[in-house]
Structure 1
């Protein structure tokens, strides 16, 4: 706490990796009155220099150097999945608090090791950005907890999109390195489902699909999940760029803004016209901070984000998202619950600050991330063995001290 007090209670955050994820977090850091971005580390010196000038911050070409800085109290690890273990270990060794992108690691054993490293260092670790931070998902959980519609019985999340044909680096198409939709996107689905249902999944039965030999990883899965209390859930994902769920979600995607149609199968066709994998990697890099295709996240006007279609059935009603909140279908009427436009990333930064400054245990801690990883692994194992897989590392959702604002 000394470093926070010395900087008038400002928590200094260093960003490791200025790609899409790292860039998207910057507006949420800027909004928080007690948090400031103080540094970044990456490989592209030109973009790091632009970042440093834009934010009056430091930049480093190595993670070690960033974590050594006395101006960094916490790090956001937005590096590729295969580097998470190395980067979490470095941050913990310098006693920096941590937000690490999902999935936490590739194996449960690695997750256990990272949890031990963090606890030994006496620092907090949050696994995100996960979509259970988003206000609509948190509000669904509140309604479920209140029991106004009776007990939750079925939770569905279905997502059809073009994930497999967006620009990808080689590791994103290598399952052994945490690539493919089950690791990269299923972790969001299972996070949503587990959060709404209370966390304690019992088992998984699933199939996965690899339907394009030029993209040699899982591009689809269908999973049936059962909670300990008998609640059922389905997680369907198809990233092969044919039908898109945005047709059912008011044209709104996972970032919040309306999706502008760019022609049927445009992502698939663009990737197939690429001359090489190197060209594809270059195209992806241009979406990072300072790139020619980077987004200005601070100026985006958005609705509530839709990570596919989420429909929750309780004993006396159903719930799904609306553009500005939730539609609730009760016994007597249908009504809308409108929510504030606080973003999930805003809430994630607040959760980190509350943990560090006030000692509030984060919901999305290492054990929560490990439980989501266990489900990803179980989906892959179930598909391979064609049998139900039982889970043993699940954790319950702890009540939040933060309510969802309307």
Structure 2
């Protein structure tokens, strides 16, 4: 049995706990939060702690720690957990800066622990089918791709906690909302050559951007277009990922990028494409991505391999976002080394 602990008992922690409870060979043994009120519902069910090091010292049977705190705290917490040689699952983004993200990877390697980053959208049925045809070379040479996040986050969302919308602890629409879509964009399109972007804070009273748009040139020569906004009235409109190649065009859309809108390949009939779209529509979310990540961590420990979504996967979108924000601030193209 692989024993898990949660650090940070806020909203997202409930998804982690549900994933652990549904995973064979996994069990939750501890929850840690600096706010005792958040721990009340776990009293008597698991061990509870208000101090991380106290938990790491006293919970001797612990194997994996899931970090679910505000993003600006991730690197410091990972450093502490890694020093006790516990495996780690860290929520997205893995950190708010490239430097902190790289430090997390280094700390995991130095202490010989497994590191997984929570990018659950890779496990949605439509995205898994898209990956199958991509790996099979169905697109031919890639032309370009489009990643769009048109969501609503009202002022009340940011007012829920003082860290929301801050540069130090939260990040803006690119880092907090669009990062899942950007992870998918990079997963399919590969390394980035350069970016050029604009960003603005149009409606919300926050430190960070609520609107951003950018253009990417990938090392392959393909282009990418990014649009990300939390300014959409009055509710979430869409999240979509479109990929275009010589012999294929696909658009995955819906409010959370989980339905097939376009599925055109030269060797796939309209009937086959429609059948696949209906299959996805019947179960658009599939097994929860958090559960897939937890299951994979259990398997990685038992099989002594690396998690399928590891530190480098978490670093890539952070590097992309940092470049986009640098370009937006300077008004210049940013070229990757």
* TMscore range, shorter length: 0.7 to 0.9
What SS does structure 2 have at the residue aligned with 1:177?
A: coil
- Tell me which residue corresponds to 2:54: 65
Counterpart of 2:97?
107
The one of 106, 123, 128 aligned to 1:138: 128
C-alpha distance in structure 2 between counterparts of 1:240 and 1:353, whole Å: 39
Mapped contact 2:154–2:204 kept (Cα < 8 A): no
SS of aligned partner of 1:335: helix
Is 1:335 the equivalent of 2:274?
A: yes
TM-score by length of 1: 0.73
Unaligned stretches of 5+ residues in structure 1:
1-9, 250-307, 393-406
| Matched position secondary structure for 2:12 | helix
| Superposed displacement of residue 373, structure 1 | 1.0
Structure 2 gaps, min length 5: none
Q: How far is the alpha carbon of 1:244 from its aligned partner? A: 4.8
Alpha-carbon contact 1:52-1:58 (below 8 Å) kept: yes
Q: Is the 8 A contact 2:148 2:240 kept in 1?
A: yes
1:46-85 map, 5 Å: 46-53=37-44, 56-68=45-57, 69-85=59-75
| Structure 2 equivalent of residue 121 of structure 1 | 111
What residue in structure 2 maps to residue 196 of structure 1? 188
* 1:92–1:382 CA distance, 2 compared to 1 (3 A): same
Partner of 1:212: 203
CA distance in 2, matches of 1:82, 1:335: 44
SS at match of 1:193: helix
CA gap of 1:132–1:226, structure 2 versus 1, over 3 A, is farther
Greater CA drift, 338-347 or 377-386 = 338-347
TM-score, normalised by the number of residues in structure 2: 0.87
Kindly provide the CA deviation profile for residues 45-100 of structure 1, in whole angstroms up to 9, marking residues without a partner as x: 244132244xx311111111222211321011000112111110111011110011
Q: CA deviation at 1:322?
A: 6.8
Alignment match, 1:401? none
Q: 1:31 to 1:95 in 2, by over 3 A?
A: same
Which residue of the partner structure matches residue 256 of structure 1? none
Alignment RMSD (CA, Å):
2.2
- Note the C-alpha offset of 1:243: 6.1
Question: C-alpha displacement at 1:375, in angstroms?
Answer: 0.7
Q: Does the 8 Å CA contact 1:105/1:373 hold for their aligned counterparts? A: yes
Residues 22 and 78 in structure 1, CA contact (< 8 A), matched pair in contact too: yes
* Partner of residue 172 from structure 1, selected from 164, 167, 170: 164
Equivalent residues, number: 320
Q: Distance in 2 between matches of 1:47 and 1:210?
A: 32
| From 307, 318, 321, the counterpart of 1:373 | 318
Secondary structure, aligned partner of 1:167: helix
